[in-house]
Structure formats: C-alpha cells, structure tokens
Structure 1
C-alpha cells in the first residue's frame, strides 16, 4: 500500500480535525475499501500522523479526542507522538492509548546519539529512497526563531535527516528569513543560527548537500542589507554564511524535485498507481510533485495569506500544478467586497486573486463547510474561486491529477 504522512505541530482545532476525519473516510471508502475491514497483522499503516508541539493537546482535549477516536477506528491509521514533548507538556494521551494500543505510539525509536528521537521516526517515514541510496529532505520555515518553536522542529528534522545520510534543504520564507540572522544569542531558547552553522559544517564533513535558501523579497522587507555582487548573487551582511538570499524562483525550483518537503503543518501524500484522475490537471506534462496550499488564516492581521498566494503563484509559474484552498478562517479572504485605500499597499487580497486567476497551473478553491460553519457565503464576484465540499477536497488530496507523473504531492498549511 502507499504510505501517507502528515506532520502536525500547531494547534489542532475540532474544525480542522473534523475535515481531516471526513477526508480520511473519503480516502478509505473510495480507494481502499478493503481496509474498512480489520487490519491484517503485519500490514503497514496507510496513514501516519506525526504529532508534536501544540498538536499534542488535541489528544487529551475531550472534543478533539472524540474525533481522534473515530479516525483511529480506521485500523490503518497510526499516530506517532513526540515522547519528549508529551512529557514537557504533561500530556498522557492515556485514554486513546488504552483504546488503540497498537495505533497510538508514545515511544520513539533510538537515534544515532543513543537517545529516543521522534524526528528520526519522521525521517524514516519521509524518506523516499531506501538507504544507502542518496536522497534529500526539505523543510519550509515561515516563522521566526525563539518566538516560535517550529524553527527548532525544522532544525531537528534536518539534523536527523543528515544523520540518516540525506542531503538537507531549508527554505526560509516570510518571517522564516530570521532563522539565519547573525549573532543570535538567546538565553532561554535554542540558538537556531548556531544550529544551522553546525548543520552545514556536518554536511560538509559527510560530503552531503546542505542548502539554506531565504526569499530575497522577504529579507529585504525585514531590513536585511543586500546587494548584487554583479554575478546575480545576493549577499547579506546580516545573515550567517550558510544562508543564501535568493529570488523566490530559486527556492521554488527546489520544489520541482521529487524529495519530501515538510513544514510545521504539512503532509506528503502518495498517489495510488493506476488511480482515477482528479478533476483538474497540469497545463503541460510535469514530473514535479503538485503543491496543495491550505490557507487557514484571515487575510489582513498577518502576512500569511498574502504570502501563501504569492508562493502559489511562484509554484505555478515554475510549471508546478498548484491548488489553493481557502478554508477555516482563510475563507474571510473571500467574503464581502474588500476595499482598500488607493495608496494602500499591498492591494486587497481579492484584487490579487482576480489578477492571477486563470494563470496556468494555478487553481483556487473555497471549502464550503467552512462557510457553513460560520454562516457566511463567498462573494459572487470571485468567480475564479470554485466551491468544493468534502468529496472535492478528497479528490484533490488523494487522486492523481492529469498530466502529472509525480508519485506524491505536497500539502502545506498556511
């Protein structure tokens, strides 16, 4: 069977877990109805969720715990929890563990340092090639270090990948560009800058590639002094040496490759061979894994929604089939008619959507259950954004799209 993994480090609300539940039901009924029967002994799980950080609270919260119980009633689903983070937060996950002892894993395998390592488990699941064949692991970071623990998670993931003799790549986007700032010296948190320098040095010793790419537009907006050295290479006096500040297209070019790329909330979903085609397709034949971006935050309080749309446009421009789905609070980008002052920068998000709609390989969708939950509707003027429900979302996530020869797709939650 194909293996699908989803990493959850951010809070898992009842709403989010509910649409995950419905999509899994669609997946098993449509593609693997045989797994609705009891799992055969020794059979690998079709779906593995890796939980760390604030996502772990969903295991003890009564409302989300109930939904996890429904999900785990599908015998080919497994939860792997970060033991260290469970202990840090005082979370037991005892009720789910008692009810589903073989599916809720609260211990981790031993890493190269002889200690239990959750991230070693993630790497083992994410690896697309069998050791000792070469491979690559990537991480997309959109949040700053120190304030956000996700930067530490990314460093741990890449460090474990390097120990497993995988090349590593870190993509710094939005506030993620701060991970490479010079002279970081936190007194009560991990020094991410020093950790990245050590990661790069270790990669050199192992003779493995290590690429840390920061988006130049985001870096410039945040005050990083940059200039062009005449050869198209942007240099910054504010960044540690391993970090290369480049045009977003350079970062996106790495997304054209076939390796697994994770983020604080992300999935790698394998396409079933011989599966039915989805209802959408790439404009031209492509081997790049499709990118599905879930915009879950409202548009104006942070740069997240704008950044997600910009990222999607760049992916589509590079020939990557890109689907953008507005859901949860992200649907507020599509309600009402947005008006911004004439001198307002950037333009309102609806203007941006209308401007890029119709671009090759770029498809916009609105998740109707999110509107129904809030009692609101999509503005009728946004005709380029197609509405879809659970079946449509299931097809996007699990059916191989037309004209794409990749074996998996990437799901990124913004």
Structure 2
C-alpha cells in the first residue's frame, strides 16, 4: 500500500492543518476512494504524522484539535508522538486519543539499547520505505536553523544517531543558519554539545564501516564569517569549523539530493506516488529524471528572515541540476508575491519578486501560489508575476500526490521553509 509520512516539529497552526485536511480529502476521494468504505484502521496507514517539539501542542489546542479530529476520521491516518517531548511540555492528548485510540501512538518503541525511542520509530518507517533495502542505504537531514536557539539541530542529531544504530550511513546538509552546527569550540553548559555530537557521529560511523557525510553551503558559511580558503581543486577549508564539516559549493549538496534516499528536516515529508505511467500528471520534468522531485513550501514572510530567499535559492540550485522542483507560496509566504516592492537605490538588499522572475526561466522550476492564503489575508498577487500560477486546494493535492511527467521514481520530497 502507498504510504506517505510527514515530520513536524514547529508550531502547527489551524491554517496549516486546513491545507493538510483539504489535500487528504482530495486524495481519498480522487485517488483512493475504496478506503472510505471501511471504517477500521488499516494495518498499514496511508498517512503517518511524526510529531515532536512545538507541533505536539496542536493535539491539545482546541482550535487545531478539532481539525485533527477531521483528519483522523479518515481511518488511514495515524499520529506517532514523541513521548519524551510530551512529558517535557506537560501536554495531554487523552481527549483526542480517547476518540481515536488506534490512530494516536504516544508510547514509542524500543531502540537497540532497550529504551523507548521516538527517533527509532521514525527510522523504522524510513527503512520500510526503502524497497528493497540496500547495504549502502543512507538517511539525510537538512538543517536550516541554528543550534541552541532552536531545538531542531538536536532533533537532527538524534535522528541521525538512531539511523546509524540501524546500520544506515548518514548525511547532514547544513544550509542558512544550519551551518552553525559545525562551528568549532562549542561549549554549552545547559544543553548537549551539538558540535561534539557530530564529531562522535562521524567517528562512530567510521568504526562501523559506514559513512557520515556532513556538507555545509559555502555561500551561507561565507556570509556568516566562516573564514575559508579554496585549494583550487574544489576543497574549501575553514579554521572555524569542526573537522567532519565539509564546506562546499551548494551544488555539492544538491548532488546528494539527486539520489533517492529519504531526507528529512525540521518540517518535511516523503510522499509516494501511488501509480506510474497512467497517472494524470499536473506538471512535468524537462527531461526524463531519476531524481525524486522536490516540493518546497514557502510559509514565512520575506525580508524579515532569510527563509523565503534561501528557499528560492535552493530551489534554483536543484532545478539547475535537473531535479524537478516545485515551489509553493502559502501561509505568510504569499506576502512575497503581493504589491510592487521597490528597493531603496542605496540599499544592497534584494527585491524578491525580481529574483522570482529571473529564477522562473528554468524549465525544471515551477512556481505556484495557494489562493486560500491570499483570501485569508485579504491581499492579492502582483499581476506582473505571471510565472507564479494560482492554485487552490485541488491543485495543491495534485502537486503532492500525482506523478509528474518524465519522472521515473516512486516518491518525492517535501521541505517546509
């Protein structure tokens, strides 16, 4: 059975749950209608949510709890909770669990150390996604937030550590502020040392005959003051980073995204295509592609953070290397598309709409905007952004679940910026 899973750690708003809900309704009515005829929970749920961090609060919040109830009414959905994080935050999910006892799992399975481990649960589902399992299987984590200020860096380390225990080779991709995970000389008092944890991960992988590859974006590193020099052969050296941290051109990172292994992030997903060949394709790759498509959701407003610009830059890099890449502006991300922004003549800042128009020339890069997000905020898209196509909830669902033309793989990656 086709299986999709989503990993969420940031706060989950009612708006975000609403577009999940509408996409699922489309999926079950248009693609998998037979599931609606049976009320028993399927043995292998079609959709699995892994919730940790602040995302867990949505199970207790009355506003979002109501939407979760609708999503869970579709029997082929389950939620796996991080028990340790539930206890840390004092979150009770009993009310929702009583209504859906077989679909909400709040007790994690045992790791190789015979201890409950949410991260082991995540890795086990990833292993099920790899068919057939290969001796060289890898798992990746894409990090865009800094450590210590954000808990997601710790999540990434725990995820990769569990993957290594399960005999996966592991990969970390540090982008935007995620490159601070590899800064030398970290010495926190109140939390786990992320830099040392990465060094330990690298050493343990070598002892087990596995690989641990840690790649950081050179552009992001340079912008943040990581003094580097290039040996002229593509190797960039920094005295600011720990030894396993390899600062490279962004294309070196994108090279890894051309492979088919599962890659997660602080908010991400892996979506399988339920059919091949005969499926109606919503869009298509320029040429036949064996790389999993990437759908990037831009959910944060531009200018105040680097999220929107960084997401587009990463999308352009992926598309340039032949990966079918879809960018969808939704939630507060639609503010990047409104009005007619004018940059100050004396400013070195960028106009993100100009950047979008330039980026739109790549045939492997497709740009969309979710119209309900505009309607919710009472704003409209700049009519000159003709490369950005308006879509509703059915269009979003088609991008998520329909196999694109010329794509020869069985899943796509979802990254939420």
State the TM bucket, normalised to the shorter chain.
Answer: over 0.9
Distance 2:41 2:227 in 1: 58
1:182 aligns with 2:179: no
Q: How many Å apart are 1:130 and its aligned residue?
A: 5.4
Gaps of 5+ in 2: none
How do residues 234-383 of structure 1 correspond to structure 2 at under 5 angstroms? 234-274=236-276, 276-383=279-386
Distance 2:39 2:257 in 1: 35
Residues 269-278 or 72-81, more deviating: 269-278
Distance 2:97 2:294 in 1: 33
Distance 1:31 1:162 in 2: 36
Q: 2:224 aligns with which of 222, 225, 239?
A: 222
Q: Are the structure 2 counterparts of residues 365 and 129 from structure 1 closer, same or farther at C-alpha, using a change threshold of 3 Å?
A: same
Distance 1:327 1:7 in 2: 18
Are the counterparts in 1 of residues 229 and 238 from structure 2 also a CA contact under 8 Å?
Answer: yes
Distance 1:208 1:59 in 2: 38
Q: How many Å apart are 1:39 and its aligned residue?
A: 4.7
2:148 aligns with 146
Which digits, 9 at most, give the CA deviation of each residue in 1:85-120, with x for residues without a partner?
A: 000000111111111000000000001121100010
Q: How many pairs align? A: 414
Are the counterparts in 2 of residues 48 and 79 from structure 1 also a CA contact under 8 Å?
Answer: yes
2:157 aligns with 155
Residue 160 of structure 1 aligns to a residue in which SS? helix
Q: 1:201 aligns with which of 184, 193, 203?
A: 203
Residue 213 of structure 2 aligns to a residue in which SS? strand
Distance 2:367 2:134 in 1: 40
Are the counterparts in 2 of residues 150 and 264 from structure 1 also a CA contact under 8 Å?
Answer: yes
2:67 aligns with 67
1:115 aligns with 115
Q: How many Å apart are 1:40 and its aligned residue?
A: 5.1
Residues 307-316 or 346-355, more deviating: 346-355
Distance 2:211 2:262 in 1: 15
2:84 aligns with 84
Q: How many Å apart are 1:278 and its aligned residue?
A: 2.1
Let me know the Cα RMSD of the aligned residues: 1.1
1:164 aligns with 166
Residue 115 of structure 1 aligns to a residue in which SS? coil
Residue 78 of structure 2 aligns to a residue in which SS? strand
Which digits, 9 at most, give the CA deviation of each residue in 1:103-149, with x for residues without a partner?
A: 00000000112110001000111221455743110000000001100
Distance 1:54 1:333 in 2: 26
Distance 1:111 1:102 in 2: 22
Which digits, 9 at most, give the CA deviation of each residue in 1:231-290, with x for residues without a partner?
A: 220010010000000000000010000000000100000011235132200001000000
1:137 aligns with 2:151: no
2:13 aligns with 13
Are the counterparts in 1 of residues 42 and 76 from structure 2 also a CA contact under 8 Å?
Answer: no
Are the counterparts in 2 of residues 129 and 135 from structure 1 also a CA contact under 8 Å?
Answer: no
2:410 aligns with 407
Are the counterparts in 1 of residues 174 and 214 from structure 2 also a CA contact under 8 Å?
Answer: yes
How do residues 20-39 of structure 1 correspond to structure 2 at under 5 angstroms? 20-39=20-39
Residue 24 of structure 1 aligns to a residue in which SS? helix
Distance 2:47 2:39 in 1: 13
Are the counterparts in 2 of residues 138 and 169 from structure 1 also a CA contact under 8 Å?
Answer: yes
Residue 21 of structure 1 aligns to a residue in which SS? helix
Residues 271-280 or 236-245, more deviating: 271-280
Residues 33-42 or 132-141, more deviating: 33-42
Which digits, 9 at most, give the CA deviation of each residue in 1:38-60, with x for residues without a partner?
A: 25566210000000000000000
Are the counterparts in 2 of residues 134 and 165 from structure 1 also a CA contact under 8 Å?
Answer: no
Residue 139 of structure 1 aligns to a residue in which SS? strand
Residue 101 of structure 1 aligns to a residue in which SS? coil
Q: How many Å apart are 1:37 and its aligned residue?
A: 2.1
Gaps of 5+ in 1: none
Q: TM-score, normalised by structure 1?
A: 0.98
Distance 2:309 2:192 in 1: 29
Are the counterparts in 1 of residues 300 and 307 from structure 2 also a CA contact under 8 Å?
Answer: yes
Distance 1:212 1:122 in 2: 21
Residue 372 of structure 2 aligns to a residue in which SS? helix
Are the counterparts in 2 of residues 293 and 322 from structure 1 also a CA contact under 8 Å?
Answer: yes
Q: Are the structure 2 counterparts of residues 42 and 391 from structure 1 closer, same or farther at C-alpha, using a change threshold of 3 Å?
A: closer
1:126 aligns with 126
Are the counterparts in 2 of residues 7 and 50 from structure 1 also a CA contact under 8 Å?
Answer: yes
Q: How many Å apart are 1:230 and its aligned residue?
A: 2.8
Q: How many Å apart are 1:84 and its aligned residue?
A: 0.2
Q: How many Å apart are 1:65 and its aligned residue?
A: 0.2
